[in-house]
């Protein structure tokens, strides 16, 4: 049986899962999304993803025509329809809907809800063991008063431009600074460094997506008795860090061992990073939310 995609309450075979070319999600990137993981049949942090989606919707004045519970049921139904009860990935999308040409979002039809369930592997197993090489890219993260990075919008060109720069530089990931020159985040992940006994990550006011994995790692580290700080980070701080790693739903925790040609400490994944990765993997096996 082929993959089925949910669109507005109905399931369509992958080949027939289509959206109008007049949808403002396509025409203007006007919409929002979430990337969610299902581990061993359990959807990880579903409530947190649903809350963030509704906040993104509120911020762009988009009405989601389902209650949070109805939307959660739709996500679960999509997994069941596809018999995806082991490890899988869920892409939840809400577009502005079908409208006329022209920016006005208020002439659009009801917003369109799409749920795709599939698999995702952003980095090879080898990179988790060896750690990845990152570069700081020229494109800065969106200014919060232009398009707030807290909104997980369908408009990802800011990150895509950064990704192009990192690929051109031959690196696995790009680190983006904000307009003030402080470290913001990766193109699709949050960043942490370890210095001495402290775990440090940029504060949300640095202009970042408030990652659900980020928040989970902050909680985990605090439980492990680590000192966790949300502090402004400079390029220098990254170069001289003891350890560095990235977090995200798709990547979980991945070590960074080189930044702009500088080896981070010995150039091997750090012990604290590997311990946190272990603890995170244990957590994904539990039915916590
Ligand atoms: N920053 C940005 C810009 C992101 O896009 C994160 C941080 C990490 O957030 P979470 O909540 O996932 O810990 C993201 C998340 C994909 C994909 O398909 C991208 C993300 C998550 C899942 C899948 O490329 N980005």
The CA distance from 186 to 136, in Å, is 9
Q: Do residues 167 and 190 touch, judged by C-beta distance below 8 A?
A: no
Query: Where are the chain's structural domains?
Result: 4-118, 125-284
The CA distance from 163 to 158, in Å, is 9
pLDDT at position 1, please? 65
| Ligand 1 center from residue 213 Cα (angstroms) | 9
Burial of 114 (0-12, 13-18, 19+ CB in 10 A): buried
Phi, psi of 39 (to 5 degrees): -110, 125
| Ligand 1 center from residue 149 Cα (angstroms) | 11
| Residue among 10, 45, 76, 152 flagged as catalytic | 152
| CATH number of the domain located at residue range(s) 4-118 in this protein | 3.30.470.10
The CA distance from 78 to 183, in Å, is 37
Average pLDDT over residues 180-189: 98
Cα dist. 147→83, 116, 142, 208 in Å? 37, 26, 6, 11
pLDDT at position 288, please? 65
| Ligand 1 center from residue 59 Cα (angstroms) | 18
Q: What is the largest CA-CA distance in the chain?
A: 57
Q: Do residues 237 and 195 touch, judged by C-beta distance below 8 A?
A: yes
Averaged confidence pLDDT in the chain: 96
Question: Which residue is it, tokens 């232009």?
Answer: 146
| 211-263 tens-digit pLDDT | 999 999 999 999 999 999 999 999 999 999 999 999 999 999 999 999 999 99
Question: Which residue is it, tokens 């075979």?
Answer: 13
pLDDT at position 40, please? 86
pLDDT at position 268, please? 97
Closest atom of ligand 1 relative to the 212 alpha carbon: 11
| 58-116 tens-digit pLDDT | 999 999 999 999 999 999 999 999 988 678 999 999 999 999 999 999 999 999 999 99
| 58 is a catalytic site residue | no
| Ligand 1 center from residue 28 Cα (angstroms) | 21
pLDDT at position 70, please? 98
- Does ligand 1 have an atom closer than 6 angstroms to the CB of 174? no
Question: Which residue is it, tokens 């990550």?
Answer: 201
CB atoms within 10 A of CB 11: 16
Residue with CA at minimum distance from ligand 1 atom 19: 188
Token pair recorded at residue 91: 């892409």
| 264-275 tens-digit pLDDT | 999 999 999 999
Q: Identify the DSSP state of 106.
A: G
pLDDT, greater one: 252 or 119 = 252
Residue with CA at minimum distance from ligand 1 atom 24: 188
- Does ligand 1 have an atom closer than 6 angstroms to the CB of 220? no
CATH of 125-284, one of 3.20.10.10, 3.40.190.10, 3.40.50.970, 1.10.150.530: 3.20.10.10
Geometric angle at alpha carbon 272, from 218 and 281, rounded to 5°? 65
277: Cβ–Cβ under 8 A, 6 or more apart, which residues?
128, 245, 252, 253, 255
Burial of 179 (0-12, 13-18, 19+ CB in 10 A): middle
SS3 label, residue 235: helix
pLDDT, greater one: 155 or 197 = 155
The CA distance from 289 to 117, in Å, is 20
- Does ligand 1 have an atom closer than 6 angstroms to the CB of 95? no
The size of the chain, in residues, is 289
The CA distance from 241 to 265, in Å, is 7
- Does ligand 1 have an atom closer than 6 angstroms to the CB of 133? no
CB atoms within 10 A of CB 128: 17
Average pLDDT over residues 10-15: 97
Token pair recorded at residue 71: 């939307």
pLDDT at position 94, please? 98
């Amino acid at each position: 049986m082929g993959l089925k995609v949910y669109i507005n309450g109905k399931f369509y075979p992958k080949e027939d899962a289509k959206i109008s070319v007049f949808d403002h999600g396509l025409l203007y990137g006007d919409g929002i999304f979430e990337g969610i993981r299902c581990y061993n049949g359990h959807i990880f942090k579903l409530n947190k993803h649903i809350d963030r989606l509704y906040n993104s919707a509120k911020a762009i004045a988009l009405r989601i025509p389902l209650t949070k519970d109805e939307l959660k049921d739709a996500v679960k139904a999509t997994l069941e329809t596809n018999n995806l009860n082991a490890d899988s990935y869920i892409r939840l999308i809400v577009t502005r809907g079908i409208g006329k040409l022209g920016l006005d979002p208020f002439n659009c039809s009801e917003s369109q809800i799409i749920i795709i369930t599939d698999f995702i592997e952003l980095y090879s197993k080898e990179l988790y063991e060896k750690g990845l090489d990152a570069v700081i890219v020229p494109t800065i993260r969106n200014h919060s008063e232009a398009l707030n990075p807290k909104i997980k919008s369908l408009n990802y060109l800011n990150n895509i431009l950064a990704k192009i720069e990192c690929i051109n530089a031959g690196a696995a990931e790009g680190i983006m600074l904000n307009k003030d020159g402080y470290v913001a985040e990766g193109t699709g992940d949050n960043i942490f460094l370890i210095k001495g006994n402290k775990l440090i990550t940029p504060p949300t006011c640095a202009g970042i997506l408030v990652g659900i994995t980020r928040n989970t790692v902050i909680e985990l580290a605090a439980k492990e008795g680590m000192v966790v700080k949300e502090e402004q980070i400079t390029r220098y701080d990254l170069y001289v860090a003891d350890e560095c790693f990235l977090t995200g739903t798709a990547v979980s925790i991945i070590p960074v061992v080189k930044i702009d040609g500088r080896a981070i400490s010995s150039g091997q994944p750090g012990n604290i990073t590997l311990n946190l990765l272990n603890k995170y993997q244990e957590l994904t096996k539990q039915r916590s939310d």
